[in-house]
Amino acid sequence: DAGVIQSPRHEVTEMGQEVTLRCKPISGHDYLFWYRQTMMRGLELLIYFNNNVPIDDSGMPEDRFSAKMPNASFSTLKIQPSEPRDSAVYFCASSLFRGAGGYTFGSGTRLTVV
């Protein structure tokens, strides 16, 4: 398996623009997670899905952030409009039921909003 695949690896955008981050989880994994990493707040869980259904989005910072999982092999995290404080590394991860066997992380997307 190729692991969890995220795209793009780097994104630089201007304030106010829409940003879409993409994730392909490991085939067969039931859970998908989106995390954000910043120096100030460390690794924060934004939202997670089970069988394509959002289970907990309490970590989503505000309405500008949205996430979807239209099928078992694809998820998006969208920021509209983007702001400089959204600059961070965004990770996607997937796992089997309740994390059995561990969680696998993608390489992350480094987002810079100028």
Residues that bind other proteins (CB under 8 A): 31, 33, 42-43, 45, 48, 50, 55-56, 89, 91, 93, 95, 97-105, 107-108, 110
The CA distance from 46 to 32, in Å, is 11
**Could you tell me the smallest distance in angstroms from the CB atom of residue 47 to other proteins?**
10
- Radius of gyration, CA atoms only, the chain: 13
**Could you tell me the smallest distance in angstroms from the CB atom of residue 101 to other proteins?**
6
Closest CA to 86 of 24, 22, 12: 12
Report residue 37: phi and psi, to 5°.
-120, 125
Q: Which is nearer to other proteins, 3 or 16 (CB)?
A: 3
**Could you tell me the smallest distance in angstroms from the CB atom of residue 57 to other proteins?**
12
Q: Which is nearer to other proteins, 59 or 81 (CB)?
A: 59
Contacts of 41 (CB under 8 A, 6+ apart): none
Q: Which is nearer to other proteins, 12 or 100 (CB)?
A: 100
Q: Which is nearer to other proteins, 31 or 65 (CB)?
A: 31
Contacts of 96 (CB under 8 A, 6+ apart): 28, 29, 30, 31
**Could you tell me the smallest distance in angstroms from the CB atom of residue 68 to other proteins?**
19
